């Protein structure tokens, strides 16, 4: 029992805090920010698996969130499908699409991979805007029904129930991600990321596992999109732009790719910081963009590396010659092939 | 019947011929060395045997099956294990976790088992741990199991790669310059490990520049020069082969 | 489609294509020097166009506004390199992507604060009366854009092939280690690449503004299409960038004419479709770029 607690203390503490929050505030605005934070966390966790564990890059993940949101919206409003079932169907579609484009995509690396996924995201966005007969174009889809279990309906007007539902799912996904990282599949992904040739020489099927990771991250994103659609009850293509994809990636990277917890801290920062920056109005994005650059330059390992970075700084200031415990730079997915000054 | 047979293998990279018509066999329980000056095509041959690259012409038979066109993970699953000349250890994973990756193909727990730590996952994890520790003990690295692999000195990094490959339960183990960066004492320990591995029924093919080590440990030696095989035979014979001496241009083979 | 219509589409394609070509060339210069894909490249185009608008509104004649805008953006490019890129040269691809994307967000917002949301025009370089050629009418600006683009491409080519500095830059892109040993200052080469890259993208921005206006948000799409053009031609290949850009412009324009319903809504998708297809089928592009990362 003690061992169990020690192993899971961080997760349990976080879960208790998040699930307990609605009982300390009834401010609907705070609760709505937290609800969006939960759905963002779902997407971030998938991206963290894809990027942090498997070493892939996706600049098109808004497309998968969009597939979930639009899938749910279209299936429920047009075909009267049960929202829960619609969510599952949308996630399956997202997984299939991810599987199909994942096979050629995951053969690419570095900038090429980033640009291919970006192109995919833009194509999906243009389809969402242009195929008006199904998506209603830029008008968006209104009247998306709420999720319900029996008589319990999850709406904005019932923020506590909504909070518990969204955070319950987000925490489940966090637990699943933590479990995966410490498993046979998780280690295979980490191996592929660190040294692909070595991992394959040990029997790891690179294509299979990369595509699988791509599919998982697509499913997480799609589910997040479905929840958002049912929560807001209205969606339009403007929510699924490249900017959104980039924000998703930025959150995950700022949090730190070295650990699943990076997705958590990154999401919290990305969702809460802009709320504070709102006072700067138009300059919000300017301040935000600069903050992102500063974090990346001074903390390439992300927020989860803050502790060890401070430790290093202290040793440097203290002048003691202690070998830094953490020499890895999880921010460097693919070592830049041609570094000036580096060994060729 | 040889366990591994390289038959008339040629490999060209564009206009450059890295291997030309190389043929030799590896028999069960042998320790065989592949030597030759830099650029002789030794690592290229390793890459062909382990599925990292494909021969331009010729065949590589492993247990009677042509493996020349397999993917690396397929070659590994058939029983070809290898290490790398330039360390490819997973730096920020622990030594133990590095070896655990070697158990990948010998375990089956998939995504769902992992997500929900189902019994199958737990069963697998137990067996993976046991085998990984066992592999570390075989090379004498068990004391460092929990350390981050990136912190190991050069020599031990290679030993870790050997343990990792052993965890895959290979029938043939390809070692690419295992003695590089080792001092005399460490080289002796390595030789001891390699013999023990052979005694446990694993056939070893190694590329090495340390001639003392090669001549001491090998049952047979194949010499490559500019992609051609110029000699093959027991160490004593190789040491006195005129063409080999000429290829090494007076380098001391003893 | 009549021959005249075809010519018309090709001409309009060449106008946009020229800008894609210059943007792609800008990407290529920076990529060859640093292995970085600068996601803020399109913002240089936008800043060029809007700076020229402001200078012209302040009373500067067009050529002066043109030169002033190019100079301004060159300085921005240099500052960007010194402040944001220099610390990143040894970082991983992902960090570089995030930082250049962060910069593009910052540039865009800065532009929003300076110039507001409206798209701003600039007068044509030499009047609005169209020119008739081969039975089709051409916008005069089209000829300016295409002509100036050719001049810039040729001038760059001469610079990189004939001058000592140009040769040093090329040496660095082929083998940075060897170039350093020969006494070429790598950091100066990177700085120069950013300056030149920003300058030509800004020039593209000034040239396209009379034809299609410019707003704070116009840069990112131009930048992405410029990147698609660079990939189409072969990433890292300057000639490929130019050809890829022109080709992309023409394909885009023709797609508007050929697609059923003549819907221009799908036009923007063409570039991305080409981008994805090229990456999947032939990542080295038409002209054969540098080897795809196999790190």
Q: Measured between beta carbons, which residues in chain A are less than 8 angstroms from residue B128?
A: 184
Kindly state the DSSP code that residue C185 receives in the 8-state scheme: -
Residue reference for tokens 């300057």: C238
Q: Is A195 on the interface with B (CB under 8 A)?
A: yes
Q: Is C37 on the interface with A (CB under 8 A)?
A: yes
CB contact under 8 A, A201 and B104: no
CA distance A256 to A246: 15
Query: What is the pLDDT averaged over residues B38-54?
Result: 91
Please check whether residue A66 lies inside any domain of the structure. Answer: yes
Q: How near does any CA of chain A get to the CA of C139, in Å?
A: 29
Choice between A325 and B244, residue whose per-residue pLDDT is larger = B244
The pLDDT score that the predictor gives to residue B51 is 93
Assess whether pLDDT exceeds 60 at residue C20.
yes
The pLDDT score that the predictor gives to residue A318 is 54
Other C-beta atoms lying within 10 Å of the C-beta of residue A250: 24
Instruction: Band the pLDDT of B250: cuts 50, 70, 90.
Output: low
Q: Is C293 on the interface with A (CB under 8 A)?
A: yes
Q: How near does any CA of chain A get to the CA of B237, in Å?
A: 34
The pLDDT score that the predictor gives to residue A328 is 39
Instruction: Band the pLDDT of A304: cuts 50, 70, 90.
Output: confident
Choice between A190 and C93, residue whose per-residue pLDDT is larger = A190
Q: Which among C94, C105, C276 has CB closest to A116?
A: C276
Instruction: Band the pLDDT of C237: cuts 50, 70, 90.
Output: confident
CB contact under 8 A, C93 and A340: no
Report for A200-204, C185-189, C259-263: range of highest mean pLDDT = A200-204
Assess whether pLDDT exceeds 90 at residue B218.
yes
The pLDDT score that the predictor gives to residue A319 is 47
Q: Measured between beta carbons, which residues in chain A are less than 8 angstroms from residue C112?
A: 282
Please check whether residue A91 lies inside any domain of the structure. Answer: yes
The pLDDT score that the predictor gives to residue B125 is 93
Inter-axis angle of helices C41-57 and C3-34, nearest 10: 110
Fold annotation for B4-247: Rossmann fold (3.40.50)
Q: Which residues pair with B229 in a beta bridge?
A: B224
Q: How near does any CA of chain A get to the CA of B220, in Å?
A: 25
Q: Encode pLDDT of C283-292 as tens digits.
A: 888 877 654 4
Continuous H helices in C164-290: 164-174, 176-181, 186-212, 218-233, 238-258, 267-281
Instruction: Band the pLDDT of A326: cuts 50, 70, 90.
Output: very low
Instruction: Band the pLDDT of A330: cuts 50, 70, 90.
Output: very low
Q: Where in the sequence is the domain holding A157, given as residue range(s)? A: 10-239
SS3 (DSSP) at B98: helix
CB contact under 8 A, C276 and A334: no
Query: What is the pLDDT averaged over residues C12-39?
Result: 91
Query: What is the SS3 assignment for chain A?
Result: CHHHHHHHHHHHHHHHHHHHHHHCCCCHHHHHHHHHHHHHHHHHHHHHHHHHHCCCCCCCHHHHHHHHHHHHHHHHHHHCCCHHHHHHHHHHHHHHHHHHHHHHHCCCCHHHHHHHHHHHHHHHHHHHHHCHHHHCHHHCECCCCCEEECCEEECCCCHHHHHHHHHHHHHHHHHHHHHHHCCHHHHHHHHHHHCHHHHHHCCCCHHHHHHHHHHHHHHHHHHHHHHHHHHHCCECHHHHCHHHHHHHHHHHHHHCCCCCHHHHHHHHHHHHHHHHHHHHHHHHHHHHHHHHHHHHHHCCCCHHHHHHHHHHHHHHHHCCCCCCCCCCCCCCCCCCCCCCCCCC
**Selection from B3, B171, B41, B112 nearest residue A183 by Cα:** B112
Residues 6 or more apart whose Cβ sits within 8 Å of residue A334: A55, A109, A110, C92, C93, C293, C295
Q: Measured between beta carbons, which residues in chain B are less than 8 angstroms from residue A50?
A: none
Percent of chain B with pLDDT strictly greater than 70 = 98
The pLDDT score that the predictor gives to residue A317 is 60
Residue reference for tokens 């990948």: B104
Other C-beta atoms lying within 10 Å of the C-beta of residue B5: 18
Please check whether residue A206 lies inside any domain of the structure. Answer: yes
Residues 6 or more apart whose Cβ sits within 8 Å of residue C243: C21, C233, C286, C287
Query: What is the pLDDT averaged over residues C41-57?
Result: 95
CB contact under 8 A, C293 and A300: no
CA distance A210 to A96: 14
Element holding B217 (H helix, E strand): helix B211-217
* A187 → chain B, closest CA residue: B101
Lowest-confidence segment of A151-165, C43-57, C59-73 by average pLDDT: A151-165
The pLDDT score that the predictor gives to residue A6 is 67
Q: Which among A190, A204, A212 has CB closest to B111?
A: A212
CA distance B37 to B228: 11
Query: What is the pLDDT averaged over residues C118-135?
Result: 82
Which of A:200-239 have CB within 8 Å of B? 200-206, 212, 216
Q: Which residues pair with B173 in a beta bridge?
A: B81, B204
* C263 → chain A, closest CA residue: A130
Q: Is A188 on the interface with B (CB under 8 A)?
A: yes
Number of domains into which chain A is organized: 1
Query: What is the pLDDT averaged over residues B238-250?
Result: 80
The pLDDT score that the predictor gives to residue A222 is 98
The pLDDT score that the predictor gives to residue C212 is 85
Assess whether pLDDT exceeds 50 at residue A338.
no
The pLDDT score that the predictor gives to residue A162 is 92
Assess whether pLDDT exceeds 90 at residue B49.
yes
**Selection from C275, C276, C254 nearest residue C264 by Cα:** C254
The pLDDT score that the predictor gives to residue A3 is 62
Query: What is the pLDDT averaged over residues C84-108?
Result: 83
Query: What is the pLDDT averaged over residues A263-267?
Result: 94
Instruction: Band the pLDDT of B249: cuts 50, 70, 90.
Output: low
Q: How near does any CA of chain A get to the CA of C136, in Å?
A: 31
Instruction: Band the pLDDT of A261: cuts 50, 70, 90.
Output: very high
SS3 (DSSP) at C193: helix
Q: Measured between beta carbons, which residues in chain A are less than 8 angstroms from residue C290?
A: none
Which of C:218-277 have CB within 8 Å of A? 220, 224, 227-228, 231, 235, 263, 265-266, 268-269, 272-273, 275-276
Instruction: Band the pLDDT of A342: cuts 50, 70, 90.
Output: very low
Instruction: Band the pLDDT of A1: cuts 50, 70, 90.
Output: low
CB contact under 8 A, B165 and A203: no
Q: Which among A110, A114, A257 has CB closest to C295?
A: A110
Residue reference for tokens 């596992």: A209
Assess whether pLDDT exceeds 60 at residue B229.
yes
Q: Encode pLDDT of A191-249 as tens digits.
A: 998 899 999 999 999 999 999 999 999 999 999 999 999 999 999 999 999 889 988 99
CB contact under 8 A, B73 and A205: yes
Residues 6 or more apart whose Cβ sits within 8 Å of residue A28: A156, A159
Q: Which among A104, A249, A334 has CB closest to C295?
A: A334
Domain spans of chain B?
Answer: 4-247
Burial C199-218, CB ≥16 within 10 A → b, else e? bbbbbbbbbbbbbeebbbeb
Please check whether residue A235 lies inside any domain of the structure. Answer: yes
**Selection from C273, C250, C278 nearest residue C12 by Cα:** C250
Measure the CA angle with vertex A158, ends A155 and A161; round to 5°: 95
Please check whether residue A96 lies inside any domain of the structure. Answer: yes
Q: How near does any CA of chain C get to the CA of A114, in Å?
A: 9
The pLDDT score that the predictor gives to residue A314 is 66
CB contact under 8 A, A197 and B167: no
Choice between C5 and C272, residue whose per-residue pLDDT is larger = C272
CA distance C285 to C236: 10
CA distance C39 to C20: 14
Q: Measured between beta carbons, which residues in chain B are less than 8 angstroms from residue A11?
A: none
Q: Which among A183, A187, A203 has CB closest to B73?
A: A203
Q: What is the ipTM of this complex?
A: 0.91
CA distance B87 to B83: 8
Instruction: Band the pLDDT of C178: cuts 50, 70, 90.
Output: confident
Q: How near does any CA of chain B get to the CA of A93, in Å?
A: 19
Please check whether residue A318 lies inside any domain of the structure. Answer: no
């Amino acid at each position: 029992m003690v061992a169990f607690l020690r192993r899971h203390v961080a997760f349990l503490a976080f879960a208790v805090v998040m699930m307990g929050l609605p009982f300390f505030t009834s401010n609907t605005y705070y609760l709505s920010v937290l609800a969006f934070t939960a759905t963002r966390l779902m997407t971030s966790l998938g991206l963290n698996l894809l990027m942090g564990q498997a070493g892939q890059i996706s600049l098109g993940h808004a497309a998968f969130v969009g597939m979930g949101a639009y899938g749910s919206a279209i299936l429920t409003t047009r075909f009267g499908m049960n929202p829960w079932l619609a969510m599952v169907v949308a996630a399956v579609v997202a997984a299939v699409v991810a599987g199909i484009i994942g096979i050629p995509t995951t053969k690419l690396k570095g900038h090429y991979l980033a640009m291919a996924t970006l192109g995919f995201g833009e194509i999906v966005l243009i389809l969402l805007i242009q195929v008006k007969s199904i998506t209603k174009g830029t008008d968006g889809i209104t009247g998306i029904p709420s999720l319900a279990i029996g008589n319990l309906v999850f709406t904005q007007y019932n923020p506590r129930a909504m909070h518990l539902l969204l955070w319950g799912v987000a925490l489940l996904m966090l637990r699943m991600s933590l479990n995966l990282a410490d498993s046979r599949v998780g280690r295979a992904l980490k191996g592929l990321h660190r040294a692909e040739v070595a991992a394959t020489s040990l029997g790891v099927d690179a294509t299979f596992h990369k595509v699988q990771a791509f599919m998982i991250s697509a499913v997480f994103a799609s589910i997040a999109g479905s929840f958002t659609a049912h929560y807001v009850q209205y969606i339009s293509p403007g929510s699924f732009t490249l900017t959104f994809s980039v924000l998703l990636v930025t959150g995950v990277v700022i949090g730190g790719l070295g650990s699943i917890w990076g997705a958590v801290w990154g999401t919290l920062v990305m969702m809460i910081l802009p709320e504070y920056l709102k006072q700067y109005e138009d300059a919000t994005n300017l301040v935000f963009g600069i903050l992102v650059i500063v974090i990346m330059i001074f903390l390439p390992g992300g927020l989860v590396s803050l502790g060890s970075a401070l430790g290093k700084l202290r040793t440097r200031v203290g002048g003691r010659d202690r070998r830094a415990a953490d020499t890895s730079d999880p921010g460097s997915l693919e070592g830049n092939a041609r570094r000036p000054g580096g060994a060729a | 019947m040889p366990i591994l047979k390289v038959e008339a293998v040629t490999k060209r990279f564009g206009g450059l011929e890295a291997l030309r018509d190389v043929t030799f066999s590896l028999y069960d329980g042998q320790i065989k060395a592949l030597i030759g000056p830099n650029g002789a095509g030794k690592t290229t041959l390793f890459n062909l045997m382990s599925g990292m690259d494909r021969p331009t012409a010729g065949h590589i038979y492993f247990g009677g099956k042509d493996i020349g066109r397999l993917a690396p993970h397929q070659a590994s699953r058939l029983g070809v294990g290898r290490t790398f000349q330039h360390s490819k250890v997973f730096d920020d994973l622990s030594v133990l976790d590095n070896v655990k990756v070697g158990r990948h193909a010998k375990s089956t727990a998939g995504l769902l088992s992992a997500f929900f730590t189902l019994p199958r996952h737990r069963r697998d994890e137990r067996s993976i741990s046991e085998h990984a520790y066992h592999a570390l003990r075989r090379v004498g690295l068990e004391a460092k199991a929990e350390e981050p692999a990136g912190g190991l000195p050069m020599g031990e990094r290679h030993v870790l790669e050997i343990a990792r490959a052993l965890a895959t339960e290979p029938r043939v183990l390809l070692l690419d310059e295992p003695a590089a960066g080792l001092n005399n004492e460490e080289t002796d320990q390595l030789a001891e490990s390699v013999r023990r591995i052979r005694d446990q029924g694993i056939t070893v093919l190694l590329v090495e520049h340390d001639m003392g080590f090669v001549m001491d440990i090998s049952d047979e030696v194949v010499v490559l020069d500019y992609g051609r095989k110029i000699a093959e035979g027991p160490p004593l014979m190789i040491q006195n082969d005129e063409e080999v001496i000429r290829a090494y241009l007076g380098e001391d083979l003893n | 489609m009549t021959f005249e219509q075809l010519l018309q589409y090709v001409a309009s394609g060449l106008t946009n294509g020229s800008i894609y070509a210059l943007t792609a060339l800008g990407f290529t210069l920076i990529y060859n020097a640093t292995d970085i894909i600068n996601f803020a490249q399109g913002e240089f185009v936008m800043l060029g166009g809007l700076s020229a608008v402001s200078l012209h509104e302040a009373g500067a004649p067009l050529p002066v506004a043109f030169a002033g805008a190019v100079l301004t953006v060159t300085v921005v490019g240099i500052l960007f390199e010194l402040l944001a890129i220099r610390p990143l040269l040894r970082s991983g691809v992902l960090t570089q992507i995030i930082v250049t994307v962060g910069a593009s967000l910052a540039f865009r917002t800065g532009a929003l604060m300076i110039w507001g949301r409206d798209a701003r025009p600039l007068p044509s370089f030499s009047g609005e009366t169209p020119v008739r050629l081969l039975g089709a009418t051409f916008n005069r600006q089209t000829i300016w854009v295409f002509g100036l683009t050719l001049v810039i491409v040729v001038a760059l080519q001469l610079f990189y092939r004939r001058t000592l500095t140009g040769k040093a830059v090329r040496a660095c892109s082929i083998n940075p280690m060897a170039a350093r040993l020969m006494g070429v200052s790598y950091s100066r080469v990177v700085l120069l690449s950013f300056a030149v890259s920003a300058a030509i993208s800004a020039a593209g921005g000034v040239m396209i503004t009379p034809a299609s206006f410019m707003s704070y948000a116009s840069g990112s799409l131009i930048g992405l299409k410029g990147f698609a053009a660079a990939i189409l031609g072969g990433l890292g290949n300057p000639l490929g960038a130019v050809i890829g850009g022109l080709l992309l412009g023409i394909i885009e324009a023709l797609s508007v004419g050929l697609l059923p319903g003549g819907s221009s809504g799908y036009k923007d998708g063409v570039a991305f479709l080409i981008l994805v297809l090229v990456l999947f089928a032939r990542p080295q592009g038409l002209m054969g770029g540098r080897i795809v990362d196999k790190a």
